[in-house]
């Protein structure tokens, strides 16, 4: 069988979907190396340095003959989907094609299509998604799910949401949970000071990691931190996210401007943090805070668990599914309660220890190796 995986997001300094496709693909490679099946990793990168970096990250070398990185350069992602990818799939007689969200046009019926859906926030909270980001999803998602032979959802909650908005997918859904990257399974204590100096981090801080999209509820976090700052003088807030991203919430800057100058100086934006450095930034945090309005899974919760950091997160269905009773839940719009729970998690060492222990125990439920085996079996179902 000839299997192609769309890995265009890998190496693009994105957050959730890049993390998922990198680790899932890396573990799939381990399952396919040395088998009778061929695996083709499709990217739009074309320069030799980027391609060499991808090969290194995936652990590929000249001894592995049945896994190939294929460069299909194209400046426009929509042209890539509409023309470049279908041409390649047809020319190379690909049996299974695995992508995310939008399925390319005019794929031969002989090619089985698997599409990965991380969330449907563009349907659930359209007013929080930029028009340019949701237009093509609105336009093409229904067609894509009709064409797909299998639809992968990253959680049971997301599976339910997909079926809610796209009933056509109800008989095709498979739940493949996200998991924790290999980098988070190592001890990080020795390099903490070097990373702290590199990103100019404060000594005691609350941490947020992720995009700054409106659905992430960051202005709410900033206002709540201002409340906490009046009660705890030595704690800061570190927000790992790109303020300049095209989909960043403009209300984040407004919330910052509304802070007293003394509090504003305690909010840090280190910018893009290299993936290898993130475990250390988690490890040094006093608590991890994740107040999202809507998520498909929330890998950062697992990252915080692994680092031994207590988590305060919004009380939404997917967080309950992923984390169970291992996080301190807060409402998505109750500033006083949010502030009080932040105060407790910062000052109460017994409470912190309890949630740290629960979080570490929760990690046993998630494994990229296990998830890759589920996807491998989905591919093999087409082969049989």
pLDDT tens for each residue of 294-318: 999 999 999 999 999 999 999 999 9
User: Which pLDDT score is estimated for 276?
Assistant: 84
Say if residue 25's pLDDT is above 90: yes
Percent composition of the chain: helix, strand, coil (DSSP 3-state, to 5): 50, 15, 35
* Measured distance CA(177)–CA(155) in Å, rounded: 6
User: Which pLDDT score is estimated for 189?
Assistant: 60
By C-alpha distance, which of 182, 113, 165 is closest to 144? 113
User: Which pLDDT score is estimated for 247?
Assistant: 83
Task: Show the DSSP H helices in the chain as ranges.
Answer: 16-32, 48-57, 77-79, 85-91, 121-124, 131-147, 156-165, 192-199, 218-229, 250-257, 261-264, 278-283, 299-306, 317-323, 335-347, 349-362, 368-383
Burial 85-111 (b: 16+ CB within 10 A, else e): bbebbeeeebbbbbbbbbbbeebeeeb
User: Which pLDDT score is estimated for 53?
Assistant: 94
Residue 246: pLDDT band with limits 50, 70, 90: confident
Cα 280 to its chain centre, rounded Å, is: 18
User: In this structure, what DSSP letter does residue 365 have?
Assistant: G
Residue 187: pLDDT band with limits 50, 70, 90: low
User: What value does the mean pLDDT take over residues 130-137?
Assistant: 82
**Surface-to-core class of residue 374, CB atoms within 10 Å of its CB (0-12 exposed, 13-18 middle, 19+ buried):** middle
Say if residue 336's pLDDT is above 90: yes
User: Which pLDDT score is estimated for 274?
Assistant: 86
pTM here is 0.94
* Measured distance CA(324)–CA(360) in Å, rounded: 12
The structure tokens listed for 220 are 């709410």
Residue 352: pLDDT band with limits 50, 70, 90: very high
The structure tokens listed for 325 are 């009773």
* Measured distance CA(108)–CA(85) in Å, rounded: 12
User: What value does the mean pLDDT take over residues 148-177?
Assistant: 98
pLDDT tens-place string over residues 276-293: 889 999 999 999 999 999
Say if residue 245's pLDDT is above 90: no
User: Which pLDDT score is estimated for 15?
Assistant: 67
User: What value does the mean pLDDT take over residues 207-219?
Assistant: 95
Q: Delineate the domains of the chain, giving CATH numbers in brackets.
A: 2-179+367-383 (3.40.50.2000), 184-365 (3.40.50.2000)
Residue 16: pLDDT band with limits 50, 70, 90: confident
User: Which pLDDT score is estimated for 383?
Assistant: 79
> How much is the mean pLDDT over the chain?
93
The answer to which of 6-20, 66-80, 232-246, 363-377 has the lowest mean pLDDT is: 6-20
Contacting residues for 328 by C-beta, under 8 A, at least 6 apart: 310, 311, 312, 313, 341, 344, 345, 351, 355
User: What value does the mean pLDDT take over residues 319-346?
Assistant: 96
SS3 assignment, position 230: coil
Burial 328-361 (b: 16+ CB within 10 A, else e): bbbeeeeeeebbbbbeebbeeeeebeebbebbee
Say if residue 30's pLDDT is above 80: yes
The answer to which of 85-99, 187-201, 309-323 has the lowest mean pLDDT is: 187-201
């Amino acid at each position: 069988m000839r299997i192609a995986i769309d890995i265009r997001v890998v190496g693009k300094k994105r957050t959730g979907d890049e993390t998922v496709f990198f680790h899932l693909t890396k573990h799939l490679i381990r399952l396919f190396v040395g088998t009778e099946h061929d695996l083709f990793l499709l990217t739009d990168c074309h320069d030799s340095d980027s391609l060499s970096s991808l090969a290194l990250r995936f652990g590929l070398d000249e001894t592995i003959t049945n896994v190939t990185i294929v460069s299909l350069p194209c400046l426009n992602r929509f042209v890539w989907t509409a023309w470049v990818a279908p041409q390649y799939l047809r020319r190379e007689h690909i049996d299974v094609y695995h992508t995310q969200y939008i399925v390319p046009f005019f794929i031969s019926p002989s090619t089985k299509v698997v599409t990965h859906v991380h969330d449907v926030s563009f349907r659930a909270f359209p007013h929080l998604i930029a028009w340019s980001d949701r237009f093509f999803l609105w336009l093409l998602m229904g067609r894509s799910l009709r064409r797909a032979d299998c639809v992968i959802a990253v959680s049971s909650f997301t599976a339910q949401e997909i079926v809610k908005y796209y009933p056509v997918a109800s008989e095709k859904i498979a739940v493949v949970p996200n998991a924790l990257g290999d980098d988070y399974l190592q001890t990080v204590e020795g390099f903490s000071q070097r990373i702290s100096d590199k990103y100019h981090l404060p000594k005691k801080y609350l941490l947020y990691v992720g995009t700054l999209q409106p659905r992430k509820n960051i202005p709410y976090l900033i206002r709540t931190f201002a409340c906490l700052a009046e009660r705890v003088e030595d704690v800061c807030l570190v927000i790992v996210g790109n303020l300049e991203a095209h989909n960043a919430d403009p209300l984040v800057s407004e919330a910052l401007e509304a802070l007293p100058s003394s509090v504003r100086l305690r909010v840090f934006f280190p910018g893009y943090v290299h993936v290898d450095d993130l475990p250390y930034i988690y490890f040094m945090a006093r608590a991890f805070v994740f107040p999202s309005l809507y998520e498909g899974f929330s890998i950062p919760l697992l990252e915080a668990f692994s680092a031994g950091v207590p988590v305060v997160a919004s009380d939404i269905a997917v967080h309950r599914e992923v984390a169970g009773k291992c996080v301190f839940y807060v409402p998505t719009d109750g500033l006083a309660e949010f502030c009080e729970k932040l105060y407790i998690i910062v000052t109460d060492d017994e409470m912190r220890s309890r949630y740290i222990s629960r979080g570490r125990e929760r990690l046993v439920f998630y494994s990229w190796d296990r998830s890759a085996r589920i996807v491998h079996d989905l591919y093999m179902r087409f082969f049989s």
